[in-house]
């Protein structure tokens, strides 16, 4: 059974009381995103993370009860950083030399340089002739840390907090319980706070950079 309406209203009012604005305000923080659907989802993720933080305060959660609140916020903030960074790289700066270089890696490509009748071997194993050449890297194969470093070189992410962003994304992977158990690493309240503390300068720096 849900709590009485009066109690629910009190909790809801508490969660919204100190927020800088409603969900539309949070959506407006992503005005540099031209994709309306993505912009709306980013705003909702930001709003949800802040609301969940206030709900944690309202219930005065402690001990193990903090864990779901912290995990949710880390997932939300890390997802925001990832989506915004990737959107800017692949859209606003797709023709930038740094982005072009990010999408290239060296790889061996087999070629029939000696003809089908020629066989090479070494230590009892067959050898193949190859070219070592530039190859297009699928975007989803580019590690997030490399995308952040690229954004720092371009200038829309400040190097001062870039490591915090990369670490938050790493912690997001602990959402997989098996991974969390293997690493023996616990996410902490300070991790979710850091995700929040970095979001404002992150968005402000992007807005200022794009306006220049």
The domain limits of the chain are 5-95+155-211
Distance from C-alpha of 144 to C-alpha of 163, rounded to nearest angstrom: 11
pTM for this prediction: 0.85
Distance from C-alpha of 187 to C-alpha of 175, rounded to nearest angstrom: 10
Can you give the pLDDT at residue 113? 60
Distance from C-alpha of 53 to C-alpha of 55, rounded to nearest angstrom: 5
Can you give the pLDDT at residue 178? 79
- Supply the DSSP string of 88-118, one letter for each residue: IIIIITTTSHHHHHHTEEEEEEE---S-TT-
Judged by DSSP in three states, 134 sits in strand
Can you give the pLDDT at residue 10? 96
Give me the phi and psi of 30, to 5 degrees please: -115, 35
DSSP 155: T
Closest listed residue to residue 74, CA positions, set 168, 167, 146: 168
Can you give the pLDDT at residue 31? 96
Terminal-to-terminal C-alpha distance of the chain: 54
Structural element, H or E, at residue 5: helix 5-17
Can you give the pLDDT at residue 186? 79
Can you give the pLDDT at residue 173? 82
- In order along its 212 residues, the chain shows pLDDT tens digits of 889 999 999 999 999 999 999 999 999 999 999 999 999 999 999 999 999 999 999 999 988 999 999 999 999 999 999 999 999 999 999 999 999 999 886 666 776 666 665 677 777 787 776 666 677 788 888 999 999 999 999 999 999 999 999 999 999 987 677 777 777 777 889 999 999 999 999 999 999 999 98
Residue 169 class from Cβ within 10 Å (0-12 exposed, 13-18 middle, 19+ buried)?
Answer: buried
């Amino acid at each position: 059974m849900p709590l009485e309406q009066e109690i629910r209203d009190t909790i809801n009012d508490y969660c919204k009381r100190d927020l800088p604005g409603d969900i539309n305000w949070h959506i407006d923080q992503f005005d540099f995103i031209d994709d309306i659907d993505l912009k709306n989802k980013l705003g909702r993720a930001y709003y949800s993370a802040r609301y969940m933080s206030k709900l944690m305060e309202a219930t005065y959660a402690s001990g193990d009860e903090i864990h779901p609140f912290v995990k949710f916020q880390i997932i939300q903030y890390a997802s925001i950083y990832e989506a915004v960074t990737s959107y800017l790289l692949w859209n606003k700066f797709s023709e930038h030399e740094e982005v072009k270089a990010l999408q290239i890696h060296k790889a061996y490509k087999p070629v029939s340089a000696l003809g089908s009748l020629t066989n090479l071997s070494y230590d009892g194993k067959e050898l193949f002739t190859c070219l070592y050449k530039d190859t297009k890297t699928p975007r989803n194969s580019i590690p997030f840390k490399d995308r952040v470093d690229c954004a720092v070189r371009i200038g829309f992410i400040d190097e001062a907090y870039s490591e915090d962003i990369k670490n938050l994304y790493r912690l997001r992977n602990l959402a997989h319980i098996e991974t969390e158990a293997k690493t023996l690493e616990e996410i902490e309240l300070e991790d979710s706070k850091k995700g929040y503390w970095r979001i404002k300068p992150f968005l402000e720096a992007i807005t200022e950079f794009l306006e220049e």
